[in-house]
Every structure is written in structure tokens, then in C-alpha cells.
């Protein structure tokens, strides 16, 4: 995942605006953060560290696929499921979680045999 996508994802997940993110980084304005989030500019090393602190993630998570960095044991299917989940609205996410929880609690076909 490109850094602009990761920044947009983290901003959405944390509920922070570009202005709020910029407030956590000295000498950076909201326009610059917005440009990072659009992929028009790339933050420098010091700014990456400050962004990571603002979002509460490791700095390396901003430079690689976030899920893979935080949990390299995930399978391709798990990555695809997470990407699909993130593309849904909050109501759809809730419905998907309910389906997943129900499926996880149901006995498998092998267990019934």
C-alpha cells in the first residue's frame, strides 16, 4: 500500500482531519498533510516519525502495507478480507462482523460428522 493510502486509512480510522494531523507535526501545515494524503508529496524521515507517533503505529507501518507490517503472519485471504472490510461503510462493516461471528460459532461440517 502506498504511503498516501496508508495515511488516508489511518486518518479515517483515527477520525483525524489533515489539520489535526498537522497540529501534531511541527512546521507542517494542513495543506502539506493533505498533499501527502493525495500522494502529491512525500513526508521526510522526521515527519514520518512524527506521523507514526500521531497515529500510534510503528514508523515502518507508514512505508509498507500496514497490515503486513503489523502482522506478517496474515494470509493473502486475510489481507483481501481486511481490504474489502475497509472499503465498506460502517453499517456494512457491522453486518459483515456479525456474519463472521456467526460463522465462527457454527460447528463445521467435519465436526458434525
**Residues 46 and 81 both lie in one domain:** no
**Residues 11 and 65 both lie in one domain:** yes
Look up the domain containing 20 and give its range.
3-69
Residue 78: pLDDT above 70?
yes
Any domain includes 20:
yes
**Residues 24 and 57 both lie in one domain:** yes
Residues 27-77: tens digit of each pLDDT: 999 999 999 999 899 888 889 899 999 998 888 778 764 445 445 566 777
- What pLDDT was estimated at residue 110? 60
**Residues 79 and 56 both lie in one domain:** no
Instruction: Decide: residue 37, CB within 10 A, 0-12 exposed, 13-18 middle, 19+ buried.
Output: buried
Any domain includes 112:
no
**Residues 44 and 89 both lie in one domain:** no
- What is d(CA 80, CA 29) in angstroms, rounded to the nearest whole number? 34
**Residues 79 and 52 both lie in one domain:** no
Amino acid at each position: 500500500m502506498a504511503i498516501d493510502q496508508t495515511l488516508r486509512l489511518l486518518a479515517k480510522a483515527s477520525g483525524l482531519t489533515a489539520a489535526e494531523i498537522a497540529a501534531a507535526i511541527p512546521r507542517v501545515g494542513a495543506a502539506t498533510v493533505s498533499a501527502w494524503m493525495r500522494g502529491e508529496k512525500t513526508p521526510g524521515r522526521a515527519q514520518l516519525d512524527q506521523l507514526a507517533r500521531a497515529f500510534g503505529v510503528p514508523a515502518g507501518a507508514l512505508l509498507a502495507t500496514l497490515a503486513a507490517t503489523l502482522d506478517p503472519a496474515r494470509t493473502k485471504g486475510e489481507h483481501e478480507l481486511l481490504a474489502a472490510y475497509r472499503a465498506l461503510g460502517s453499517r456494512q462493516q457491522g453486518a459483515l462482523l456479525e456474519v463472521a461471528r456467526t460463522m465462527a460459532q457454527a460447528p463445521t461440517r467435519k465436526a458434525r460428522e
